[in-house]
Structure 1
Amino acid sequence: MKQSLAVLFPGTGYTCGEPLMQKIARQFLEAGYQVVQLDFSAVPFHELAGLEEAAERVKPLVLEQLKGIEPAACGDIVFVSKSLGTVCAGWLEKEWGVPARQLYLTPLPQTLDCIRETSRVAGMVIGTQDRFMTAEALQAFCTGRGIPCLVAAGTGHNLKYADPAAAEELERKILALCSVPPGAGSRE
């Protein structure tokens, strides 16, 4: 039986320890997936010149933390990524040569360049106050490609609400986007 894999990619200030990422990890663990939560804490992001340098520093970490995993031996592969992690998730899909199901949380403009016709994007999520891309621009991109786009009104790049009810509703919608197909945890 092939083990299915879910990889969680953090952002520069949004770790896999955030409650949303932990709920996503738990959802996949309960479905029988091997879950890898990447850690970028060794990278001094505040000292780097920009996104390109940050991505180049993170890529070797991604490969190191996934060492020993053979993507061709996996069943369903899912990448859930946040901000800088979205660029890395798009890069890793190309690097591995295996189309993963992608859920992009607050993708950066550079992330859109990673998406090809063969990409399997489960959805993209953005706040109306995102500082890197407008919700309208992302919606237009997604509409043209048939990609589900979830817009979180009144929140920024961190996708956080002060109101617990609004936060819970957003989490519910995001968890639905990365739902696990029946029997996907392990496949023969």
Structure 2
Amino acid sequence: MKNRSNYVIGYKNLKIPYVIQTKTDQPKGLAIMLPGIGYTVKSPLFHFSSGAFLNKGYDVLHVNYPYSSTDYEDFSLEEITSALINDVSKVLNEVVDHTFYKSYYVIGKSFGTMAIPTALDMLPSQSTKAIWLTPRLIGEQVFQTLRTCTQDSLCVIGDKDPFYDIDKMNHIIRNPSIECMMPPGANHALEVDNDILTSIDMVKSVMKRIDDFISLKNGVLNHEL
């Protein structure tokens, strides 16, 4: 596997590093990983998702925004969100403008899902899919995009997640482009509190659903309520 590291100059002239991983000279497409603030690309779901995409012949883009560093300690949540959208846009402009991929997947976790609407606007809609892991449903743009987007998407959120909202999920599952997985008992890490073995099984079941979604060629699977 080859890694290409680079960076863009992002919000307030701060460096935003990114890495492109590849295992083939003729990739099928590009998987764009947008982690959370505390849930990095080395965390289980991103680590295993990266492997799944690489094994299926995709390049993988890790956007490693350093929002936990002291450079951002005085930022409000609103300003960090503005930085996220600005920085992800700059990375995509840099990568997509200098490469050609036939298809795209955008994978966001928690805070990272707040940049998925912007990414979907920037990428060709007919060849782009999205995976929303524990989306911040309190964000109006996140909720409205999930409710109305036409790109095939997978949304995964547990009923013990602080951002879980049954009323909003009832709207989202009506979107025929969205496949929903709502594992009972799952918290914001998509694990089960105080139960290691069940948490391992939970991560495995989510990864199986992600792997199935990547393998899908036409449409989305049925909703899982």
The alignment's TM-score, normalised by the length of structure 2, stands at 0.69
Give yes or no for contact 1:86–1:107 (8 Å, CA) kept in 2. yes
The answer to whether residue 209 in structure 2 is matched with residue 173 in structure 1 is: yes
Would you say 1:144 and 2:171 are equivalent positions? no
- Correspondence 1:13 to 2:38: yes
Cα distance in structure 2, aligned partners of 1:131 and 1:116: 19
Q: Secondary structure, in 3 states, of the residue corresponding to 2:38?
A: coil
Task: Choose the corresponding residue for 2:82, options 56, 76, 84.
Answer: 56
Deviation at 1:30, TM superposition (A): 1.5
Match of 2:102 in 1: 75
Out of 29, 51, 54, which is 1:26 matched to?
Answer: 51
Query: Could you list the runs of 5+ residues in structure 2 that have no partner in the other structure?
Result: 1-25, 219-225
Question: Of the two structures, which has the highest relative contact order with CA contacts closer than 8 Å and spacing of 6 or more?
Answer: 1
Kept in 1, the 8 Å contact 2:108–2:132? The answer is yes
Matches within 5 A, 1:93-172: 93-94=120-121, 96-99=122-125, 100-109=128-137, 110=139, 111-115=142-146, 117=148, 119-134=150-165, 136-146=166-176, 147-161=178-192, 162-163=196-197, 164-172=200-208
The equivalent of 2:23 in structure 1 is none
1:57-101 CA-to-partner distances (Å, cap 9, x unmatched) read 11232234331323993211110111121110111221x152220
Amino acid of the structure 2 residue aligned with 1:91: T
Residue 169 of structure 1, CA deviation: 2.5
**Does the 8 Å CA contact 2:41/2:62 hold for their aligned counterparts?**
yes
The answer to whether the 8 A contact 1:43-1:57 is kept is no
How many pairs were matched up?
179
Gaps of 5+ in 1: 183-188
Q: Structure 1-normalised TM-score?
A: 0.81
Cross-structure match for 1:37: 62
- Return the alpha-carbon distance in structure 1 between the equivalents of residues 106 and 90 of structure 2: 16
Mapped contact 2:29–2:59 kept (Cα < 8 A): yes
1:87 is matched with: 114
**Which residue matches 1:185?**
none
User: Percent identical across equivalent pairs?
Assistant: 21
Whether the aligned pair in 2 keeps the contact of 1:142 and 1:148 (CA below 8 Å) is: no
Q: Larger Cα Rg: Structure 1 or Structure 2?
A: 2
Shift of 1:159: 1.1
RMSD, aligned CA: 2.7
Aligned-partner residue type, residue 109 of structure 2: K
Runs of 4+ in 1 over 6 A off after TM superposition: none
SS in 1 for 2:106: strand
Distance change in 2, residues 1:68/1:103 (3 Å): closer
